[in-house]
Amino acid sequence: MCGICGFTGEIVNRDDVLREMADLITHRGPDSSGFYTDCCVAMGFRRLSIIDVDSSGNQPIYNEDKTLVLTFNGEIYNYRDLRAELEEKGHRFYTKTDSEVLVHGFEEWGEEMLPRLRGMFGFAIWNTKEKSLFLARDFFGIKPVHYTQVGDHFVYGSEIKSILAFPGFEKKFNYAELDRYLSFQYAVPPETFFEGVYCLLPAHYLWYRDGKVTVQRYWEPRFMPDESLQEKEAVDRIEKVFEDSVNAHKISDVEVGCFLSSGVDSSYVSTYFADQKTFTVGFDFGDHYNEIHWAADLSKEIGAEHHYEVISSEDFWGNIKKVQYHMDQPLADPACIALYFVSRLASKYVKVVLSGEGADELFGGYTVYNEPRVFRVYRAVLPQCVRTFLRKMVQKVPRHFRGQGFITRGEYPTNESFIGNAKMFGYEDKKRLLKDPSIVTRPQEITKKYYERVKDLDDVTRMQYLDINLWMVGDILLKADRMSMANSLELRVPFLDKEVFKVAATIPTRLRVNRKNTKYAMRQAALRHLPEATAQKEKLGFPVPTRVWLRDEKYYNVVKAAFHSQTAQKFFCTEELMHYLDDHFHGLRDYSRRIWTVFIFIVWYDIYFNDASHEPGDFPAY
């Protein structure tokens, strides 16, 4: 795993600027650095050596006549097959790396190379003859690519912090993104919180030629359910393709480990790690927040060497600022901090880990995917006037109760009620909360274009499609990349493989989500390798006790101070913030997710716009 950065055009002290941009992402590749410059471009690279670990694998990588220059972040798992095909066509290789396949493949096939790849990637190729720059991002968005234009210069990087270091870049806050963040809990791609800085969307490539940027999509995760597919055949296909994917993702010249929770996704992955290492973290707040014993028992059963760490409250809160520095943008998912700790633990033993991200989106694992089936019954039993009355009544109840959200959402169609796995603040909530309510929009304005593309499919599949394009990119994969890379650890996700998706796309809805379970067919495949209790275990995510902490006077006061800060007063109506905080503290409602969303934004804003610190080691603990 690596980091890339660069820019076009001539500037004063170009070499120093390029090195500073690369130094800011040293954590992505502490093993070595590499640079290329000519009169028109400057390209920087940081390397975490995984394949062909000696110096011959250093980047930049060139084709035979050095007319193409590559810097690459990621892994290409079918590089050996592609290399053999390219050698038959006359291409000569000078390294054993997967990187070199890209430069020769691009020379041979151009953009048509991208659908041939199997892997995760974000890379840049400079054509010295045409003076053109080509950027590409993998199918699901596992690896990041960001870019902007500063005058006549095109600037890019794996992380936004590299771009911020470019001379002449004027750092401006993107106010519109605050509105979207308050709905979704993440910055909605391709926009970012920095005005004029964009992320290249998954399965897209970009050309920069003659001062112009053009972006094109090369692949789309389209579901095509085969309703004739029977359960055994579906399970057989899942088992076969997943085993193939795990074996491909384990290709490495260094040791590979595995993250492990009590859930079926990472547990299924771990069954291929006998005699290797697994890693788990938990909190000292009872079984709901600590899955270490589950992971330890499974590791013992499969013969893996298990390593774990219990995260204390002080450690968690003491690393919030460091985590938000590495995230580049605010992410109100507290699991990202837990992911930082498990990555830190694993990095003490291995350079590469496999994890279970993507299984829920591809195979229908989230509990919320049950709602379309349940809502059909709810709407059939109760007339609309009764449902409307119930919704208005529950909204007036001061204390939160189980089922409240169900009654609220049950009155609306899926494309109105579901914007993804996180829905923080509603339209009216944002109007009351923000100092500038003119920026408030309905989140459905973002989601409607995705729903429209799959309008002929069932509601569960439409929800999955939306999550793959928004939630998975903006939350799941963002935190997976940033938290692993913050610890110089390569994280690989075998569920997010295009061959696995080919199978997942054909699974009928009844074998994804049904009365028995979510992710049904995938669980049946996992059951062939796991104890039934693990394969059928209820989806928990990565539970973090923020709800508990925010009812502790110590952390209540930490957040209270943030809610009265100048940053809070700049953007929010502080009386409304304290309403959420106090009601939660006194047990009237569970507002923990809303409180955390605003708190994390304030922490992030102070780091990047109030110059609280620019070095991760400088952040004081709470």
Give the per-residue pLDDT at 55.
58
How is the chain split into domains, by residue range?
2-217, 231-365+469-535, 370-420, 546-618
Cross-strand bridge partners of residue 310: 282
**DSSP letter, residue 621:** P
Phi and psi angles of residue 49, each rounded to the nearest 5 degrees, phi first:
-75, 120
Query: Do 279 and 375 form a contact (C-beta atoms < 8 A)?
Result: no
State pLDDT tens for residues 544-591.
Answer: 999 999 999 999 999 999 999 999 999 999 999 999 999 999 999 999
Helices (H) and strands (E) in the chain, counts: 29, 17
Query: Do 120 and 61 form a contact (C-beta atoms < 8 A)?
Result: no
State pLDDT tens for residues 358-411.
Answer: 999 999 999 999 999 888 777 777 877 877 787 777 776 655 566 677 777 777
**What integer is the mean pLDDT of 143-148?**
98
Q: Please state the CATH superfamily assignment of the domain spanning residues 231-365+469-535 in this structure.
A: HUPs (3.40.50.620)
Q: Where are the alpha helices (DSSP H) in 355-497?
A: 359-363, 371-381, 384-394, 404-409, 414-417, 427-433, 444-453, 459-469, 471, 477-485
Give yes or no for residue 173 having a pLDDT over 80: yes
Give the per-residue pLDDT at 618.
66
Give yes or no for residue 207 having a pLDDT over 80: yes
State which fold the 2-217 domain adopts: Glutamine Phosphoribosylpyrophosphate, subunit 1, domain 1 (3.60.20)
Give yes or no for residue 214 having a pLDDT over 70: yes
Query: Do 194 and 160 form a contact (C-beta atoms < 8 A)?
Result: yes
Element spanning 259, H or E: strand 256-259
107: three-class secondary structure by DSSP: helix
Give the per-residue pLDDT at 406.
75
Give the per-residue pLDDT at 376.
79
Give the per-residue pLDDT at 617.
56
321: three-class secondary structure by DSSP: helix
Question: What is the C-alpha to C-alpha distance for residues 262 and 268, in angstroms, rounded to an integer?
Answer: 10
Catalytic residue among 2, 5, 199, 258: 5
398: three-class secondary structure by DSSP: coil
Give the per-residue pLDDT at 386.
76
**What integer is the mean pLDDT of 247-271?**
93
89 pLDDT band (50/70/90 cuts)?
very high
305 pLDDT band (50/70/90 cuts)?
very high
Give yes or no for residue 524 having a pLDDT over 90: yes
Query: Do 185 and 424 form a contact (C-beta atoms < 8 A)?
Result: yes
Phi and psi angles of residue 235, each rounded to the nearest 5 degrees, phi first:
-65, -40
- Residue 395: which residues within 8 A CB-CB, separation 6 or more? 408
**What integer is the mean pLDDT of 61-81?**
96
What percent of the chain is predicted at pLDDT more than 90? 83
Residue 171's alpha-carbon distances to 44, 141, 166, 212, in angstroms, are 22, 25, 10, 22
* Count of other CB atoms within 10 angstroms of residue 596: 21
What percent of the chain is predicted at pLDDT more than 70? 95
Closest CA to 410 of 455, 449, 459, 365: 459
**DSSP letter, residue 191:** B
Give yes or no for residue 525 having a pLDDT over 80: yes
Give the per-residue pLDDT at 382.
80
**What integer is the mean pLDDT of 57-65?**
91
**What integer is the mean pLDDT of 297-324?**
96
Give the per-residue pLDDT at 613.
53
**Residue 5 annotated among the catalytic residues of the structure:** yes
Give yes or no for residue 100 having a pLDDT over 70: yes
Give yes or no for residue 614 having a pLDDT over 60: no
Q: Of 255-264, 288-297, 328-337, give the range with the top mean pLDDT.
A: 328-337
288 pLDDT band (50/70/90 cuts)?
confident
The tokens for 217 are: 């999509």
**What integer is the mean pLDDT of 235-261?**
95
**DSSP letter, residue 13:** T
**DSSP letter, residue 98:** S
Give yes or no for residue 1 having a pLDDT over 80: no
357 pLDDT band (50/70/90 cuts)?
very high
Cross-strand bridge partners of residue 136: 123, 205
**What integer is the mean pLDDT of 136-151?**
98
Query: Do 483 and 326 form a contact (C-beta atoms < 8 A)?
Result: yes
**What integer is the mean pLDDT of 67-73?**
97
Mean of all residue pLDDT scores within the chain: 93
Give yes or no for residue 232 having a pLDDT over 70: yes
**DSSP letter, residue 542:** S
Give yes or no for residue 414 having a pLDDT over 60: yes
* Count of other CB atoms within 10 angstroms of residue 360: 27
Query: Do 160 and 328 form a contact (C-beta atoms < 8 A)?
Result: yes
Half-sphere exposure of 592 (CA within 13 A, CB side): 16
Question: What is the C-alpha to C-alpha distance for residues 134 and 299, in angstroms, rounded to an integer?
Answer: 44
